[in-house]
Chains A and B, each alone.
Chain A
């Protein structure tokens, strides 16, 4: 089944403790992206990747890192999480570009205490 998977789905952590949210797609898509969703703010793009080893900042990249070493995986790293990073995070992929139909993962709900 074609899908985007994210892990973990729920995470409660404390300020400053490094964490990684994994994202994987099995559709051989070139484009992958991370978004965060907060009430009243819609989706905001954190980072995106047009292909392996190519990553770029979205609208809200501060406090996040990403890497794209292989086509299928696009992990999101929070080196020192803070409470303002408490949010719902979505990973998405599309064949070549975000204007292609994007397939979203199920979301990761992160709480930073």
Chain B
């Protein structure tokens, strides 16, 4: 059965700290891994990582895909209170009967205190 597991489930830090969120997967026909940020409302897209693009960076956020270890990390440097959110990773597939299916992890709740 396909699985996506995130850790830690919850994290509390102070402004200025650096955090690393983890996502590991066991998925048939893996194609790409996506990261989303969810504040009080609906999720918003952050990054997509595939075997042809295993590192992405946007401002203080960066993400790496490790295809050998079947995992990804999301780094946030110099955290701010506005980074407080649930961070979700998801995995999609190349084809077969599950083409179009998206499997999410449980999410990591990040709280940044001033």
Q: Which residues of A contact B (CB under 8 A)?
A: 31, 33, 35, 40-45, 48, 50, 56, 58-59, 90, 92, 97-99, 101-102, 104-107
Contacts and interface: CB of A to CB of B under 8 A. Distances in A.
The bracket for how many chain B residues form the interface is: 20 to 34
15 contacts: A41-B106, A42-B6, A42-B104, A43-B43, A45-B101, A45-B102, A45-B104, A48-B101, A56-B100, A92-B42, A97-B92, A99-B32, A106-B42, A107-B41, A107-B42
Given A33-B102, A106-B41, A98 B107 contact: no
Interface of B: 6, 9, 31-32, 34, 41-45, 48, 88, 90, 92, 99-107
Contacts, number: 60
A50 B31 CA distance: 17
Given A43-B88, A50-B99, A99-B34, 11 more contacts: A33-B102, A42-B107, A45-B102, A50-B100, A58-B101, A59-B103, A90-B42, A99-B92, A101-B45, A102-B43, A102-B45
